[in-house]
Structure 1
Amino acid sequence: MEWDPAKYVQFGDYRDRPFFDLTGRVHAGHPVQVVDLGCGPGNLTATLAERWPAADVVGIDSSAEMLAKAAKLAGDGQGLRFEQANIACWKPSAETDVVVSNAALQWVPGHQEMMGAWLDALRPGAWFALQVPGNFNAPSHALMRRLAGSARWAPKLEGVLRGGESVGEPADYLHILLDAGYSADAWETTYQQVLPGRDAVLEWVRGTALRPVLAALSADDAAEFEAEYAAALREAYPQTAHGTVYPFRRIFAVGCKNP
Protein backbone atom coordinates (compact mmCIF):
# COMPACT_ATOMS: atom_id res chain seq x y z
CA MET A 1 0.00 0.00 0.00
CA GLU A 2 1.47 3.34 -1.06
CA TRP A 3 1.14 6.50 1.01
CA ASP A 4 0.72 10.05 -0.23
CA PRO A 5 2.64 12.41 2.09
CA ALA A 6 0.92 15.50 0.65
CA LYS A 7 -2.54 14.03 1.27
CA TYR A 8 -1.54 12.89 4.77
CA VAL A 9 -0.49 16.39 5.87
CA GLN A 10 -3.48 18.09 4.19
CA PHE A 11 -5.13 18.57 7.60
CA GLY A 12 -1.86 19.17 9.38
CA ASP A 13 -3.14 21.08 12.40
CA TYR A 14 -5.66 18.38 13.28
CA ARG A 15 -3.29 15.49 12.61
CA ASP A 16 -0.44 17.13 14.54
CA ARG A 17 -2.29 18.15 17.70
CA PRO A 18 -2.56 14.63 19.23
CA PHE A 19 1.21 14.21 18.81
CA PHE A 20 1.91 17.24 20.97
CA ASP A 21 -0.77 16.26 23.49
CA LEU A 22 1.00 12.89 23.69
CA THR A 23 4.63 14.01 23.87
CA GLY A 24 3.74 16.74 26.36
CA ARG A 25 3.33 13.94 28.90
CA VAL A 26 6.84 12.56 28.24
CA HIS A 27 9.14 14.09 30.84
CA ALA A 28 12.48 12.64 29.80
CA GLY A 29 15.35 14.95 30.69
CA HIS A 30 18.36 14.02 28.57
CA PRO A 31 17.58 10.93 26.51
CA VAL A 32 20.32 9.20 24.56
CA GLN A 33 18.15 7.76 21.79
CA VAL A 34 14.61 8.75 20.84
CA VAL A 35 12.69 6.52 18.42
CA ASP A 36 9.56 7.54 16.52
CA LEU A 37 7.78 4.38 15.36
CA GLY A 38 5.72 5.14 12.25
CA CYS A 39 7.25 8.55 11.66
CA GLY A 40 5.46 9.26 8.36
CA PRO A 41 6.81 12.35 6.58
CA GLY A 42 9.06 13.16 9.54
CA ASN A 43 7.83 16.66 10.32
CA LEU A 44 6.80 15.68 13.85
CA THR A 45 9.93 13.58 14.40
CA ALA A 46 11.92 16.73 13.70
CA THR A 47 10.27 18.43 16.68
CA LEU A 48 11.69 15.68 18.90
CA ALA A 49 15.16 16.53 17.63
CA GLU A 50 14.52 20.18 18.43
CA ARG A 51 13.33 19.26 21.92
CA TRP A 52 16.28 16.95 22.63
CA PRO A 53 19.14 18.27 20.44
CA ALA A 54 21.76 16.05 22.10
CA ALA A 55 19.82 12.84 21.42
CA ASP A 56 20.06 10.42 18.52
CA VAL A 57 16.54 10.79 17.10
CA VAL A 58 15.47 8.01 14.74
CA GLY A 59 12.28 7.98 12.69
CA ILE A 60 11.18 4.56 11.48
CA ASP A 61 8.57 3.92 8.79
CA SER A 62 7.81 1.25 6.20
CA SER A 63 6.74 3.71 3.49
CA ALA A 64 9.38 4.73 0.96
CA GLU A 65 7.14 7.63 -0.12
CA MET A 66 6.94 9.00 3.41
CA LEU A 67 10.66 8.56 4.03
CA ALA A 68 11.57 10.34 0.81
CA LYS A 69 9.86 13.40 2.25
CA ALA A 70 11.35 12.85 5.71
CA ALA A 71 14.90 12.58 4.34
CA LYS A 72 14.86 16.29 3.50
CA LEU A 73 14.65 17.06 7.23
CA ALA A 74 17.70 15.04 8.28
CA GLY A 75 21.12 16.60 8.79
CA ASP A 76 21.66 20.28 9.56
CA GLY A 77 23.83 19.33 12.51
CA GLN A 78 20.98 17.64 14.37
CA GLY A 79 21.03 14.01 15.40
CA LEU A 80 18.01 13.28 13.24
CA ARG A 81 17.87 10.31 10.88
CA PHE A 82 15.31 8.04 9.28
CA GLU A 83 15.20 4.31 8.57
CA GLN A 84 12.89 2.18 6.46
CA ALA A 85 11.69 -0.80 8.49
CA ASN A 86 8.59 -2.70 9.50
CA ILE A 87 7.48 -1.71 13.00
CA ALA A 88 6.60 -5.34 13.70
CA CYS A 89 10.29 -6.27 13.29
CA TRP A 90 11.69 -3.40 15.37
CA LYS A 91 13.51 -3.94 18.66
CA PRO A 92 14.85 -1.24 20.97
CA SER A 93 18.60 -0.93 21.36
CA ALA A 94 20.41 -0.67 24.68
CA GLU A 95 20.52 3.11 24.22
CA THR A 96 16.81 3.61 23.48
CA ASP A 97 15.18 5.53 26.30
CA VAL A 98 12.25 7.29 24.62
CA VAL A 99 9.84 5.57 22.23
CA VAL A 100 7.00 7.50 20.62
CA SER A 101 4.39 6.04 18.29
CA ASN A 102 1.75 8.43 17.00
CA ALA A 103 -1.15 7.11 14.89
CA ALA A 104 0.81 4.10 13.63
CA LEU A 105 0.25 1.02 15.77
CA GLN A 106 -3.33 0.59 14.52
CA TRP A 107 -1.74 -0.67 11.28
CA VAL A 108 0.25 -3.36 13.14
CA PRO A 109 -1.73 -6.51 13.99
CA GLY A 110 -0.71 -7.88 17.37
CA HIS A 111 0.94 -4.66 18.50
CA GLN A 112 -0.29 -5.05 22.07
CA GLU A 113 1.73 -8.26 22.41
CA MET A 114 4.72 -6.58 20.77
CA MET A 115 4.48 -3.75 23.29
CA GLY A 116 5.15 -6.18 26.12
CA ALA A 117 8.46 -7.25 24.55
CA TRP A 118 9.45 -3.65 23.79
CA LEU A 119 8.65 -2.50 27.31
CA ASP A 120 10.63 -5.35 28.85
CA ALA A 121 13.65 -4.52 26.69
CA LEU A 122 13.78 -0.84 27.64
CA ARG A 123 15.98 0.15 30.53
CA PRO A 124 14.75 1.69 33.81
CA GLY A 125 13.85 5.36 33.37
CA ALA A 126 12.86 4.88 29.73
CA TRP A 127 9.63 6.34 28.38
CA PHE A 128 7.06 4.80 26.05
CA ALA A 129 4.25 6.88 24.54
CA LEU A 130 1.57 5.88 22.06
CA GLN A 131 -1.48 7.38 20.41
CA VAL A 132 -3.91 5.44 18.22
CA PRO A 133 -7.24 6.43 16.69
CA GLY A 134 -10.25 5.22 18.65
CA ASN A 135 -12.89 5.93 16.03
CA PHE A 136 -13.17 2.58 14.26
CA ASN A 137 -16.85 2.40 15.19
CA ALA A 138 -17.57 5.98 14.09
CA PRO A 139 -19.86 6.43 11.05
CA SER A 140 -16.89 7.26 8.81
CA HIS A 141 -15.39 3.83 9.37
CA ALA A 142 -18.57 1.81 9.89
CA LEU A 143 -20.02 3.08 6.62
CA MET A 144 -16.81 2.21 4.80
CA ARG A 145 -16.86 -1.35 6.14
CA ARG A 146 -20.56 -1.73 5.39
CA LEU A 147 -20.09 -0.66 1.79
CA ALA A 148 -16.99 -2.84 1.41
CA GLY A 149 -19.05 -5.81 2.65
CA SER A 150 -21.94 -5.22 0.21
CA ALA A 151 -22.67 -7.63 -2.62
CA ARG A 152 -21.10 -5.22 -5.11
CA TRP A 153 -17.76 -4.84 -3.32
CA ALA A 154 -17.23 -7.85 -1.06
CA PRO A 155 -15.61 -10.02 -3.77
CA LYS A 156 -12.93 -7.36 -4.29
CA LEU A 157 -12.53 -6.05 -0.75
CA GLU A 158 -12.92 -9.08 1.50
CA GLY A 159 -10.42 -8.88 4.34
CA VAL A 160 -9.08 -5.47 3.29
CA LEU A 161 -10.53 -3.45 6.17
CA ARG A 162 -10.18 -4.08 9.88
CA GLY A 163 -12.54 -2.92 12.63
CA GLY A 164 -12.37 -2.05 16.30
CA GLU A 165 -10.06 -4.99 16.97
CA SER A 166 -7.27 -2.89 15.43
CA VAL A 167 -6.68 -1.06 18.72
CA GLY A 168 -7.26 -1.49 22.42
CA GLU A 169 -9.09 0.74 24.85
CA PRO A 170 -7.22 3.13 27.17
CA ALA A 171 -7.45 0.63 30.03
CA ASP A 172 -5.85 -2.07 27.88
CA TYR A 173 -2.76 0.02 27.21
CA LEU A 174 -2.65 1.22 30.81
CA HIS A 175 -2.51 -2.34 32.12
CA ILE A 176 0.15 -3.35 29.59
CA LEU A 177 2.35 -0.55 30.89
CA LEU A 178 1.59 -1.24 34.56
CA ASP A 179 2.19 -4.97 34.18
CA ALA A 180 5.58 -4.20 32.61
CA GLY A 181 6.63 -2.17 35.66
CA TYR A 182 5.91 1.34 34.40
CA SER A 183 4.34 4.33 36.08
CA ALA A 184 1.62 4.98 33.54
CA ASP A 185 -1.15 7.28 32.40
CA ALA A 186 -3.83 6.56 29.78
CA TRP A 187 -6.66 8.71 28.51
CA GLU A 188 -8.87 9.48 25.55
CA THR A 189 -9.83 12.72 23.82
CA THR A 190 -12.50 13.36 21.21
CA TYR A 191 -11.51 16.30 19.02
CA GLN A 192 -14.40 18.14 17.41
CA GLN A 193 -12.68 18.84 14.09
CA VAL A 194 -14.27 21.40 11.77
CA LEU A 195 -13.17 20.45 8.26
CA PRO A 196 -13.48 22.86 5.32
CA GLY A 197 -14.81 22.21 1.82
CA ARG A 198 -17.20 19.80 0.17
CA ASP A 199 -16.87 16.11 1.03
CA ALA A 200 -14.48 17.06 3.81
CA VAL A 201 -14.67 13.75 5.67
CA LEU A 202 -13.95 11.89 2.43
CA GLU A 203 -10.88 14.08 1.94
CA TRP A 204 -9.78 13.25 5.48
CA VAL A 205 -10.06 9.48 5.16
CA ARG A 206 -8.39 9.53 1.73
CA GLY A 207 -5.18 10.27 3.62
CA THR A 208 -5.45 7.30 5.97
CA ALA A 209 -8.34 4.85 6.48
CA LEU A 210 -9.46 4.71 2.84
CA ARG A 211 -6.01 3.92 1.48
CA PRO A 212 -6.30 0.11 1.73
CA VAL A 213 -9.51 0.26 -0.32
CA LEU A 214 -7.98 2.50 -2.96
CA ALA A 215 -4.94 0.22 -3.16
CA ALA A 216 -7.12 -2.85 -3.70
CA LEU A 217 -9.29 -1.41 -6.50
CA SER A 218 -8.70 -0.29 -10.06
CA ALA A 219 -8.98 3.43 -10.75
CA ASP A 220 -12.51 3.05 -12.17
CA ASP A 221 -13.67 0.89 -9.29
CA ALA A 222 -12.10 3.24 -6.75
CA ALA A 223 -13.98 6.19 -8.25
CA GLU A 224 -17.25 4.25 -8.10
CA PHE A 225 -16.65 3.17 -4.50
CA GLU A 226 -15.78 6.72 -3.47
CA ALA A 227 -18.94 8.12 -5.08
CA GLU A 228 -21.15 5.71 -3.09
CA TYR A 229 -19.19 6.24 0.08
CA ALA A 230 -19.21 10.05 -0.29
CA ALA A 231 -23.02 10.06 -0.53
CA ALA A 232 -23.27 8.12 2.73
CA LEU A 233 -20.76 10.42 4.43
CA ARG A 234 -22.70 13.54 3.42
CA GLU A 235 -25.74 12.17 5.23
CA ALA A 236 -23.78 11.14 8.33
CA TYR A 237 -21.72 14.35 8.48
CA PRO A 238 -23.79 17.21 7.00
CA GLN A 239 -21.93 20.30 5.90
CA THR A 240 -22.77 23.46 7.85
CA ALA A 241 -22.06 27.12 7.34
CA HIS A 242 -18.96 26.63 9.50
CA GLY A 243 -17.70 23.50 7.74
CA THR A 244 -18.19 19.81 8.49
CA VAL A 245 -17.86 18.74 12.11
CA TYR A 246 -15.97 15.46 12.30
CA PRO A 247 -15.59 14.11 15.86
CA PHE A 248 -12.37 12.12 16.15
CA ARG A 249 -11.64 10.01 19.23
CA ARG A 250 -7.99 9.38 20.07
CA ILE A 251 -6.50 6.99 22.63
CA PHE A 252 -3.28 7.84 24.51
CA ALA A 253 -0.96 6.01 26.87
CA VAL A 254 2.37 7.10 28.37
CA GLY A 255 4.62 5.32 30.82
CA CYS A 256 8.04 5.60 32.47
CA LYS A 257 9.83 2.41 33.52
CA ASN A 258 10.35 2.16 37.24
CA PRO A 259 13.85 1.52 38.66
Structure 2
Amino acid sequence: MPTPPSPVWDPHQYLRHAGHRARPFVDLLARVPELPSGPRIADLGCGPGTVTRLLADRWPDADITGFDTSHEMLDRARGLAGPTPGGGYLDFAHGDVAEWTPAADEPYDLIISNATLQWVPDHADAFARWVAGLAPGGTFAFQVPGNFAAPSHVLMRELAESEGWRERLGGVLRHGDAVLAPAAYLDRLVALGCETDVWETTYLHLLEGEDPVLDWVKGTGLRPVLTALSEDEDAREAFVREYAGRLRDVYPRGPRGTVFPFRRLFAVARKP
Protein backbone atom coordinates (compact mmCIF):
# COMPACT_ATOMS: atom_id res chain seq x y z
CA MET A 1 0.00 0.00 0.00
CA PRO A 2 1.19 3.56 -0.63
CA THR A 3 2.33 5.75 2.21
CA PRO A 4 -0.50 8.19 2.94
CA PRO A 5 0.45 11.57 1.51
CA SER A 6 0.54 14.69 3.62
CA PRO A 7 -2.66 16.45 2.59
CA VAL A 8 -2.34 19.67 0.63
CA TRP A 9 -4.71 22.13 2.23
CA ASP A 10 -6.91 24.72 0.55
CA PRO A 11 -7.77 27.59 2.97
CA HIS A 12 -10.48 28.91 0.67
CA GLN A 13 -12.27 25.55 0.54
CA TYR A 14 -11.86 25.02 4.28
CA LEU A 15 -13.36 28.42 5.09
CA ARG A 16 -16.45 27.87 2.94
CA HIS A 17 -18.09 26.44 6.09
CA ALA A 18 -16.23 28.66 8.55
CA GLY A 19 -19.22 29.38 10.78
CA HIS A 20 -20.06 25.72 11.32
CA ARG A 21 -16.40 24.80 11.81
CA ALA A 22 -15.85 27.53 14.42
CA ARG A 23 -18.81 26.53 16.59
CA PRO A 24 -17.07 23.59 18.35
CA PHE A 25 -14.05 25.77 19.15
CA VAL A 26 -16.31 28.38 20.71
CA ASP A 27 -17.96 25.66 22.79
CA LEU A 28 -14.56 24.32 23.84
CA LEU A 29 -13.32 27.79 24.73
CA ALA A 30 -16.33 28.36 26.96
CA ARG A 31 -15.15 25.54 29.24
CA VAL A 32 -11.54 26.72 29.52
CA PRO A 33 -10.97 28.35 32.92
CA GLU A 34 -9.61 31.85 33.33
CA LEU A 35 -5.88 32.32 32.81
CA PRO A 36 -3.39 34.54 34.64
CA SER A 37 -2.57 38.02 33.36
CA GLY A 38 -0.48 38.05 30.18
CA PRO A 39 -0.80 34.32 29.49
CA ARG A 40 1.24 32.32 26.99
CA ILE A 41 -0.96 30.29 24.65
CA ALA A 42 -0.14 27.73 21.94
CA ASP A 43 -2.70 26.72 19.31
CA LEU A 44 -1.69 23.39 17.79
CA GLY A 45 -2.91 23.06 14.21
CA CYS A 46 -4.05 26.65 13.80
CA GLY A 47 -5.05 26.32 10.15
CA PRO A 48 -5.96 29.69 8.60
CA GLY A 49 -5.92 31.37 12.02
CA THR A 50 -9.58 32.33 12.13
CA VAL A 51 -10.29 30.56 15.41
CA THR A 52 -6.86 31.39 16.84
CA ARG A 53 -7.95 34.99 16.64
CA LEU A 54 -10.80 34.15 19.04
CA LEU A 55 -8.18 33.43 21.70
CA ALA A 56 -7.06 37.05 21.47
CA ASP A 57 -10.67 38.16 21.91
CA ARG A 58 -10.91 36.15 25.15
CA TRP A 59 -7.41 37.05 26.41
CA PRO A 60 -6.44 40.35 24.75
CA ASP A 61 -3.16 40.59 26.71
CA ALA A 62 -2.00 37.09 25.74
CA ASP A 63 1.10 36.07 23.82
CA ILE A 64 -0.44 33.61 21.34
CA THR A 65 1.34 31.42 18.80
CA GLY A 66 -0.47 29.25 16.27
CA PHE A 67 1.47 26.29 14.87
CA ASP A 68 0.75 24.41 11.65
CA THR A 69 2.60 22.38 9.01
CA SER A 70 0.60 23.67 6.04
CA HIS A 71 2.33 26.53 4.24
CA GLU A 72 -0.96 27.32 2.50
CA MET A 73 -2.78 27.68 5.82
CA LEU A 74 0.05 29.67 7.42
CA ASP A 75 0.17 32.09 4.50
CA ARG A 76 -3.49 32.86 5.17
CA ALA A 77 -3.05 33.00 8.96
CA ARG A 78 -0.10 35.40 8.92
CA GLY A 79 -2.37 38.12 7.61
CA LEU A 80 -3.94 38.11 11.09
CA ALA A 81 -0.63 38.33 12.99
CA GLY A 82 0.42 41.35 14.99
CA PRO A 83 -0.22 43.24 18.23
CA THR A 84 -3.65 42.86 19.83
CA PRO A 85 -5.66 45.76 21.34
CA GLY A 86 -5.06 44.53 24.87
CA GLY A 87 -1.29 44.62 24.59
CA GLY A 88 -0.81 41.01 23.58
CA TYR A 89 0.57 39.55 20.38
CA LEU A 90 -0.73 37.05 17.85
CA ASP A 91 1.84 35.10 15.85
CA PHE A 92 1.99 32.04 13.61
CA ALA A 93 4.82 29.60 13.03
CA HIS A 94 5.58 26.38 11.21
CA GLY A 95 5.42 23.45 13.61
CA ASP A 96 4.63 19.75 13.38
CA VAL A 97 2.16 18.83 16.11
CA ALA A 98 3.46 15.24 16.08
CA GLU A 99 6.90 16.48 17.17
CA TRP A 100 6.07 19.71 19.00
CA THR A 101 7.43 19.96 22.54
CA PRO A 102 7.23 23.09 24.72
CA ALA A 103 10.54 24.49 25.93
CA ALA A 104 11.13 23.53 29.55
CA ASP A 105 11.95 27.12 30.57
CA GLU A 106 8.98 28.71 28.78
CA PRO A 107 5.81 27.01 30.04
CA TYR A 108 2.41 27.75 28.58
CA ASP A 109 -0.74 28.69 30.45
CA LEU A 110 -2.92 27.16 27.74
CA ILE A 111 -2.21 24.60 25.03
CA ILE A 112 -5.23 24.18 22.81
CA SER A 113 -6.00 22.27 19.63
CA ASN A 114 -9.06 22.39 17.40
CA ALA A 115 -9.87 19.56 14.95
CA THR A 116 -6.21 18.66 14.41
CA LEU A 117 -5.19 15.70 16.57
CA GLN A 118 -7.16 13.24 14.43
CA TRP A 119 -4.44 13.77 11.81
CA VAL A 120 -1.68 12.84 14.29
CA PRO A 121 -1.16 9.08 14.83
CA ASP A 122 -0.79 8.13 18.50
CA HIS A 123 -1.47 11.73 19.52
CA ALA A 124 -2.49 10.71 23.05
CA ASP A 125 1.11 9.62 23.65
CA ALA A 126 2.06 13.31 23.41
CA PHE A 127 -0.24 14.37 26.24
CA ALA A 128 2.40 13.78 28.90
CA ARG A 129 4.94 16.12 27.31
CA TRP A 130 2.31 18.76 26.58
CA VAL A 131 1.01 18.70 30.15
CA ALA A 132 4.63 18.87 31.34
CA GLY A 133 4.96 22.03 29.24
CA LEU A 134 2.16 23.77 31.13
CA ALA A 135 2.70 26.17 34.00
CA PRO A 136 1.20 25.03 37.32
CA GLY A 137 -2.56 25.45 37.01
CA GLY A 138 -2.29 25.58 33.21
CA THR A 139 -4.82 24.01 30.86
CA PHE A 140 -4.65 21.60 27.94
CA ALA A 141 -7.82 21.60 25.83
CA PHE A 142 -8.73 20.00 22.53
CA GLN A 143 -11.59 19.08 20.22
CA VAL A 144 -11.55 16.32 17.61
CA PRO A 145 -14.16 14.93 15.22
CA GLY A 146 -15.80 11.76 16.44
CA ASN A 147 -17.60 10.98 13.20
CA PHE A 148 -15.36 8.38 11.57
CA ALA A 149 -18.22 5.86 11.65
CA ALA A 150 -20.56 8.34 9.93
CA PRO A 151 -21.63 7.66 6.32
CA SER A 152 -19.50 10.55 5.02
CA HIS A 153 -16.34 8.73 6.14
CA VAL A 154 -17.50 5.14 5.72
CA LEU A 155 -18.53 5.71 2.09
CA MET A 156 -15.27 7.49 1.37
CA ARG A 157 -13.21 4.60 2.77
CA GLU A 158 -15.32 1.96 1.04
CA LEU A 159 -14.90 3.66 -2.33
CA ALA A 160 -11.14 4.17 -1.83
CA GLU A 161 -10.75 0.47 -0.94
CA SER A 162 -12.96 -0.76 -3.81
CA GLU A 163 -11.50 -2.75 -6.69
CA GLY A 164 -11.29 0.20 -9.05
CA TRP A 165 -9.44 2.46 -6.59
CA ARG A 166 -7.60 0.21 -4.13
CA GLU A 167 -4.32 0.20 -6.03
CA ARG A 168 -4.07 3.98 -5.96
CA LEU A 169 -5.88 4.84 -2.74
CA GLY A 170 -5.66 1.80 -0.46
CA GLY A 171 -4.43 2.91 2.97
CA VAL A 172 -4.57 6.62 2.13
CA LEU A 173 -7.51 7.50 4.36
CA ARG A 174 -7.77 7.54 8.14
CA HIS A 175 -9.89 4.88 9.80
CA GLY A 176 -12.12 4.71 12.86
CA ASP A 177 -9.14 4.56 15.23
CA ALA A 178 -7.99 8.05 14.26
CA VAL A 179 -9.40 9.23 17.60
CA LEU A 180 -9.90 7.48 20.93
CA ALA A 181 -13.14 6.87 22.78
CA PRO A 182 -14.07 9.67 25.19
CA ALA A 183 -13.42 7.43 28.21
CA ALA A 184 -9.92 6.66 26.92
CA TYR A 185 -9.08 10.36 26.71
CA LEU A 186 -10.43 10.83 30.23
CA ASP A 187 -8.30 7.97 31.52
CA ARG A 188 -5.13 9.29 29.85
CA LEU A 189 -5.52 12.80 31.25
CA VAL A 190 -6.59 11.80 34.75
CA ALA A 191 -3.56 9.50 34.90
CA LEU A 192 -1.41 12.59 34.33
CA GLY A 193 -2.87 14.15 37.47
CA CYS A 194 -5.16 16.59 35.66
CA GLU A 195 -8.60 17.71 36.73
CA THR A 196 -10.38 16.66 33.55
CA ASP A 197 -13.69 17.28 31.81
CA VAL A 198 -14.50 15.17 28.72
CA TRP A 199 -17.73 15.31 26.75
CA GLU A 200 -19.20 14.78 23.31
CA THR A 201 -21.72 16.67 21.19
CA THR A 202 -23.45 15.87 17.91
CA TYR A 203 -24.13 19.00 15.87
CA LEU A 204 -26.87 18.99 13.25
CA HIS A 205 -25.46 21.31 10.61
CA LEU A 206 -28.04 22.53 8.12
CA LEU A 207 -26.08 22.98 4.89
CA GLU A 208 -27.16 24.80 1.76
CA GLY A 209 -26.31 24.42 -1.90
CA GLU A 210 -25.72 21.50 -4.22
CA ASP A 211 -23.81 18.52 -2.79
CA PRO A 212 -23.04 20.44 0.42
CA VAL A 213 -21.64 17.43 2.33
CA LEU A 214 -19.20 16.84 -0.50
CA ASP A 215 -18.29 20.53 -0.37
CA TRP A 216 -17.65 20.19 3.37
CA VAL A 217 -15.38 17.14 3.16
CA LYS A 218 -13.43 18.64 0.25
CA GLY A 219 -12.02 21.01 2.85
CA THR A 220 -11.10 18.32 5.39
CA GLY A 221 -11.53 14.54 5.25
CA LEU A 222 -11.26 14.19 1.48
CA ARG A 223 -7.95 16.09 1.29
CA PRO A 224 -5.76 12.91 1.29
CA VAL A 225 -7.65 11.55 -1.73
CA LEU A 226 -7.54 14.87 -3.57
CA THR A 227 -3.81 15.08 -2.85
CA ALA A 228 -3.10 11.48 -3.95
CA LEU A 229 -4.92 12.06 -7.26
CA SER A 230 -3.68 15.60 -7.83
CA GLU A 231 -1.57 14.60 -10.84
CA ASP A 232 -4.50 12.88 -12.59
CA GLU A 233 -7.41 15.28 -13.02
CA ASP A 234 -9.61 12.72 -14.79
CA ALA A 235 -9.22 10.19 -11.99
CA ARG A 236 -9.78 12.85 -9.37
CA GLU A 237 -13.02 13.98 -11.01
CA ALA A 238 -14.18 10.37 -11.43
CA PHE A 239 -13.67 9.59 -7.75
CA VAL A 240 -15.42 12.77 -6.64
CA ARG A 241 -18.33 12.14 -8.99
CA GLU A 242 -18.90 8.59 -7.73
CA TYR A 243 -18.50 9.62 -4.10
CA ALA A 244 -20.92 12.53 -4.56
CA GLY A 245 -23.59 10.16 -5.85
CA ARG A 246 -23.25 7.94 -2.79
CA LEU A 247 -23.45 10.94 -0.47
CA ARG A 248 -26.69 12.14 -2.03
CA ASP A 249 -28.36 8.84 -1.16
CA VAL A 250 -27.59 9.11 2.57
CA TYR A 251 -27.71 12.91 2.96
CA PRO A 252 -30.78 13.85 0.91
CA ARG A 253 -31.61 17.47 0.36
CA GLY A 254 -34.75 18.56 2.24
CA PRO A 255 -36.98 21.59 1.80
CA ARG A 256 -34.76 23.69 4.11
CA GLY A 257 -31.37 22.27 3.20
CA THR A 258 -29.26 19.18 3.90
CA VAL A 259 -28.89 17.98 7.49
CA PHE A 260 -25.34 16.86 8.25
CA PRO A 261 -24.97 15.29 11.74
CA PHE A 262 -21.45 15.70 13.06
CA ARG A 263 -20.22 14.20 16.35
CA ARG A 264 -17.30 15.83 18.13
CA LEU A 265 -15.28 14.96 21.25
CA PHE A 266 -13.98 17.56 23.72
CA ALA A 267 -11.53 17.54 26.60
CA VAL A 268 -10.35 20.21 29.05
CA ALA A 269 -7.59 19.15 31.47
CA ARG A 270 -6.16 21.41 34.16
CA LYS A 271 -2.73 20.73 35.58
CA PRO A 272 -2.44 20.84 39.39
Coordinate RMSD, CA, aligned: 1.1
Instruction: Report if aligned partners of 1:87, 1:108 keep a CA contact under 8 Å in 2.
Output: yes
3-state DSSP class of the match of 2:98?
A: helix
Q: How far off is 1:2 after superposition?
A: 1.4
Partner of residue 207 from structure 2, selected from 176, 182, 195 = 195
Alignment of 1:1-259 (within 5 A): 1-30=7-36, 32-77=39-84, 78-93=88-103, 94-217=106-229, 218-258=232-272
2 CA distance for matches of 1:219 and 1:116? 43
Letter in 2 for 1:11: H
Cα 1:29/1:85, change in 2 over 3 Å:
closer
| Number of residue pairs matched by the alignment | 258
Bigger CA drift: 224-233 or 21-30?
Answer: 21-30
| SS of match in other structure, 2:67 | strand
Indicate the percent of aligned positions where both proteins have the same amino acid.
50
CA contact 2:44–2:111 (8 Å) conserved in 1: yes
Q: Could you say what secondary structure the match of 1:43 adopts? A: coil
Q: Does the aligned pair in 1 maintain the 2:111–2:134 contact within 8 Å?
A: no
- Tell me, yes or no, if the aligned pair for 1:28 and 1:127 is still in contact at 8 Å: no
Indicate conservation of the 8 Å contact 2:111/2:130, yes or no: no
TM-score (norm 1): 0.97
8 A contact 1:101–1:130 mirrored in 2 = yes
Give secondary structure in 2 for the equivalent of 1:11: helix
Unaligned runs of 5+ in 2: 1-6
Decide whether the 8 Å contact of 1:97 with 1:122 is kept in 2. Answer: yes
* Aligned partners of 1:91 and 1:118 also within 8 Å: yes
Q: Deviations over 1:99-143 (max 9, x none)?
A: 110000000001011112212332320100010000001000000
Q: Which amino acid aligns with 1:49?
A: A
Structure 1: runs of 5+ lacking an equivalent = none
1:151-172 Cα offsets, whole Å, 9 max, x none, are 0000000110111110011111
Contact 2:11 2:72 in 1 (8 A): yes
1:220 maps to amino acid: D
The one-letter code of the counterpart of 1:115 is: F
SS at match of 2:135: coil
Runs of 4+ in structure 1 off by over 6 angstroms are none
Q: TM-score, normalised by structure 2?
A: 0.92
Paired residue type of 1:147: L
How much has 1:240 moved relative to structure 2? Answer: 0.6
For structure 1, which segment, 114-123 or 229-238, has the greater mean C-alpha deviation from structure 2 after superposition?
A: 114-123
Q: 2:81 touches 2:92 (CA, 8 Å); kept in 1? A: yes
The one-letter code sitting in structure 1 at the alignment partner of 2:17 is: F
CA distance 1:116–1:76, change in 2 (3 Å)? closer
What amino acid maps onto 1:25 in structure 2? R
